[in-house]
Chain A
């Protein structure tokens, strides 16, 4: 224990020492270096006290998530590193490598470090003390840059190491410098981007922007390995590279060009131009940042929590006139109310969306991925469609069900779980109504639409005959949700804190695999018997109705 603290203290000392060497940069740009150093040191100490996460203040997700991401980064680093050995021209190869690294760094910056950049607590604590806002902002950026560069090194580490063997030491050194430039460029570019967004829009827009970016990132990171291999089969990478003017607009060329020059020892005008851009543009962002953004960034942050109320278009989840379709499913008035309430909160809560949407994206994409794998084997499109239609590939849709049902409990969580006092303060006799409404939201708003979307290609292949299979799949997923719901503890919707998420996910996955395995097997088998499919449908329907009838016999006492 003591040992580890000592180690981190030492590391912190090193970075501060390094900063002392370049303190003239800070002083030149009007930063009070001593105070900046104190703030930065304090932040490093605070990070140490939260051992699980690199920057716990920004990521409140549970520990496992962070480990998962670290693992993903490590794997990415190795994959990217292995690219160095590929027999492609160096410029093309380094463009790919740097492109991937930049994507990773940019995403991490936006998803993990945005909250540090946009932290307002600093402001209240520090800005009231005798120091200028430039200094505070500099401390923030140094903090982020420090972590981002470390992370960048971790991702680029394997490729730097491998490049020593392939291209020699000078190349690796230039590569390392390039990585530093990329980190700085990303940090300053993001700050300027946020500054610009805050200039034109309000804080809520910026938060939405970050939220959607995070969702896309999560989906991309988890699916990327499926695509990276395909890039190589799709593009003719061995073709000779001929520079075009518009390539100057692609940031990866700026950073790949110096590496080309050093490895090929060939200086062409195009490569010089790219390399120049690689130096000038990051420096320009730095200057722009110091001159324009830094001094007023903290002031702009004030807008983060304000919202222009006037003349805003009403775009909320309120349905004064009752929606006839939803009324069909929620006969009780109170249930209908809860339905709309839960729907609106889920649709608005960014953290909930961040947990839910990636899963739904996987659910929609996975059957398609499996389906497309079948295509590769066949010769023409018509032929493959024809031979697919002979098979039972629609069973892939059970993969969607697997993903969808696993997020059943997410609905019981909320960032604002403390708002749940209203369930107790209102005259609702039993917790059944809100919980039932929650289940219905989950099914009607999320499971059903996702299933329908991912069944579009199957619909095209199997035509009308597919409908009876789709019906079974929908019924089966509903039944699985319900069985699942019965096995788990009951919670009110939106009433639990994310930070102590305790659902036993391993057992959940096992159970899911088992139940959908069984359902898929039965579905397959029912095809072999005459009328089997209709008997199966009837059985599942009856099972569902029975389970539904017995599922809601609980009281306030059973709610934990």
Chain B
């Protein structure tokens, strides 16, 4: 089976600082990749390169068979993206924004609008469909972004902390949506810092540290290989962090000392 994403020897530097130092990765249809790493490990950079937002990388990146280094944009028709910070032209209403996004992918305005309205009502935010996004709560904004990433029925989804701000019920719905989408053969590239979620939803985990992939496999594989009980522990041991208990103890004793 051909990989939908094929990354070979990917390097990227900002000035002198090398952020990615040789990433090799093959991703296949129907996979939910949990893409994790410490702050500044290069997760977002990898995703932004694949989206064509960041230029100037070395190595090759192929998405759906298209070498994105050549500057083509056709592959973008098949991808959806949720950025980490919910940046959005929030002076528009959800109706305007979503219809606009759909049209950019070549959908008819009327069709998009109907689809957007349906999805919005399924996410229980139809009350604010015609209000400015600026007046939304964080979770409502996130729902708009989720819908915007899916409207055009893409094959690959790049999600950066997609659950932030969602309430527990919506999280449950969204997790089921992701699982269902994977069943449909869609690929989800999921970056997050919340290990419990990554552990549960991903069928493959890729851990990146200092610009390199340091672990790659399903949760069970990593568990047996590294003899750790949870993804959190795996994460700690692979990123070389083991003094968390000491730090916590010092922290608490400092607080108790100064209580007035």
Contact = CB atoms under 8 A, between A and B. Distances in A.
A414 B90 CA distance: 11
Interface residues of B, number: 40
Nearest to B98: A318
A341 B91 CA distance: 11
Contacts of A337: 100, 103-104, 109
B92 interface: yes
A528 interface: no
A438 to B, nearest CB: 14
Interface stretch (A265-273, A305-313, A405-413): A305-313
A426 B96 contact: no
A320 B127 contact: no
B87 A309 contact: no
A165 B76 CA distance: 75
Interface stretch (B129-137, B175-183, B232-240): B129-137
Contacts of B109: 318-320, 322, 337
Contacts of A312: 130-131
A316 B52 CA distance: 31
Given A318-B99, A416-B87, A425 B113 contact: no
B53 A348 contact: no
A319 B108 CA distance: 11
A377 interface: no
Given A414-B89, A416-B90, A340 B53 contact: no
B130 A345 contact: no
Nearest to A310: B127
B88 A416 contact: yes
B54 to A, nearest CB: 9
Given A316-B95, A344-B96, A345-B91, A556 B71 contact: yes
Interface string A424-458: 11111100000000000000000000000000000
Given A318-B109, A348-B92, A416-B89, A426 B135 contact: no
B88 A419 contact: yes
A458 B134 CA distance: 43
A472 B96 CA distance: 37
Given A425-B81, A427-B76, A345 B104 contact: no
A427 B77 contact: yes
Interface in A461-519: 494
Contact of A418 (B79, B87, B110, B130): B87
Contact of A419 (B52, B89, B127): B89
Interface string B86-125: 0111111101100111011110011001000000000000
Contacts of B27: none
A333 to B, nearest CB: 7
Contacts of B100: 337, 340-341, 344
A425 B76 contact: yes
Contacts of B81: 421, 425
A309 B73 contact: no
Nearest to B102: A337
A309 B106 CA distance: 29
B139 interface: no
A345 B128 contact: no
Contacts of A348: 91-92, 132
A77 interface: no
A203 interface: yes
A61 interface: no
A309 B127 contact: yes
A556 B55 CA distance: 11
A416 B86 CA distance: 11
Contact of A314 (B88, B130, B135): B130
Given A320-B110, A340-B100, A421 B89 contact: no
A427 B90 contact: no
Nearest to B140: A309
Residue of A317, A416, A429 with most chain B CB atoms under a 10 A cut-off = A416
A334 interface: yes
Contacts of B169: none
A429 B106 CA distance: 13
Contacts of B89: 345, 414, 416, 419, 494
A122 interface: no
B254 interface: no
Contact of A428 (B51, B93, B104): B104
Given A204-B135, A340-B100, A318 B77 contact: no
Given A307-B132, A316-B95, A348-B91, A418 B76 contact: no
A317 to B, nearest CB: 6
Contacts of A418: 85, 87
B157 to A, nearest CB: 12
A539 B100 CA distance: 39
Contacts of A494: 89
Given A309-B127, A427-B73, A421 B103 contact: no
Contact of A309 (B51, B76, B101, B130): B130
B217 interface: no
Contact of A429 (B73, B90, B105): B73
A349 B134 CA distance: 10
A422 B73 contact: no
A417 B51 CA distance: 18
A318 B88 contact: no
29 contacts: A203-B135, A305-B134, A305-B135, A306-B135, A307-B135, A309-B127, A309-B131, A316-B93, A316-B130, A318-B99, A319-B109, A322-B109, A334-B104, A337-B104, A338-B104, A341-B96, A344-B92, A414-B89, A416-B89, A418-B87, A421-B81, A422-B101, A425-B52, A425-B76, A426-B104, A427-B77, A428-B104, A429-B73, A556-B71
- Give 3 nearest A-B pairs by CB, closest first: A307-B135, A418-B87, A309-B128
Interface of A: 203-204, 305-307, 309-310, 312, 314, 316-320, 322, 333-334, 337-338, 340-341, 344-345, 348-350, 414-416, 418-419, 421-422, 424-429, 494, 556
Given A344-B92, A418-B85, 8 more contacts: A305-B134, A317-B92, A319-B109, A345-B89, A416-B88, A421-B81, A424-B53, A427-B73
